[in-house]
Amino acid sequence: MPLLGEVAALTTAALWSLGSLLFARAARRVGGFTLNQARITLAFLVLSAILFLTRGSAWAPGAGPRNIALLAGSGLIGLTLGDWAYFNSLVYVGPRLATLFMTLAPPMAALLALPLLGESLGFAGVLGMALTLAGIVWVVLERGSADVPRGHRLRGAMLGVLASLGQALGLVLSKLGMQGVVDPLPATAIRMGAAALGVWALALATRRAGGVVGLARDPRARLATLGATMVGPVCGVWLSLVAVSLTKAGIAATLMATTPVMVLPLLILVEKERVSRRAALGAVLSVTGIAVLFLH
């Protein structure tokens, strides 16, 4: 089906938008680190159960050692290291600037895909990416940034760039790891398993492994975590690999980066927030860029 990769990427962004609302509600109760630790672990268990029930014990027959190593590396880099850097960037500079730094991921993915995957974007692809990212930046910077101490701004910027690089490299390594022999669902499970090991190692090293006990005892946090897990690490990450397997990494990363725009209608419907004219214009600019990417 033509443009299936692009549709999967946009669906990923929509799911991540919904997941971000659920994530925020749970994180306010148990903390971002504990929530990420729980949702990645739960996602791996859910994906493994689905694969075992539908395919038996040999659910990734085409995966050789190189495929598994690349997919595991992409999980550690993108989901463990990348998420850790993003959450810490949030602490130092807040969501507006942290999200702004994440818009570096698509151009980084496009640059990495050139030598590693042999992919290149033509003029229309670059134009569509630029318009989409410009719309995202316009939305993210709408209210400006809070007064952030200089030291925090520098640390937050470094962590934001690291998070973007982790996401971009994780996406490219995922495509290399699948190579047409591992389909996106088992590839997602392999990535999530490696990420779960990484996040638990980080939790043990920082003595925060016990946080999941508090989450398990909180009914509202449990429900929000389950919802965030199903729409984010399970369905969202799976569709992100569907997208990157069917279209160019830079285009997939750009369309998946539209989460700040996708979340606007959810803020209106669910949180009853008012969206400004500037945010609406940013959304229109991003949609224009998306149209160019679909038609190029």
What does the pLDDT look like over 38-64, one tens digit per residue? 889 999 999 999 999 998 877 888 889
pTM of the predicted protein model:
0.87
Looking at residue 147, its pLDDT comes to 57
Mention every residue, 6+ apart, whose C-beta is less than 8 A from residue 80.
40, 194, 195, 198, 199, 202
Looking at residue 142, its pLDDT comes to 65
Q: How many CB atoms lie within 10 A of CB 294?
A: 15
Burial class (CB in 10 A: 0-12, 13-18, 19+), 277: exposed
**Using only C-alpha atoms, what is the Rg of the chain?**
18
Instruction: For residues 138 and 217, give the distance between their C-alpha atoms in angstroms, rounded to a whole number.
Output: 40
Mention every residue, 6+ apart, whose C-beta is less than 8 A from residue 240.
8, 9, 12, 171, 252, 256
Looking at residue 271, its pLDDT comes to 63
Domain residue spans in the chain?
4-295
Instruction: For residues 106 and 126, give the distance between their C-alpha atoms in angstroms, rounded to a whole number.
Output: 11
Looking at residue 22, its pLDDT comes to 78
Low-confidence ranges of the chain (pLDDT < 70): 1-2, 24, 27-28, 95-96, 141-150, 271-273, 275, 295-296
Looking at residue 150, its pLDDT comes to 67
9 to each of 70, 162, 196, 247, how far by Cα in Å?
A: 21, 22, 24, 9
Encode pLDDT of 251-280 as tens digits: 999 999 888 788 778 777 776 667 677 777
Residue type, 230: M
Looking at residue 210, its pLDDT comes to 82
Looking at residue 296, its pLDDT comes to 61
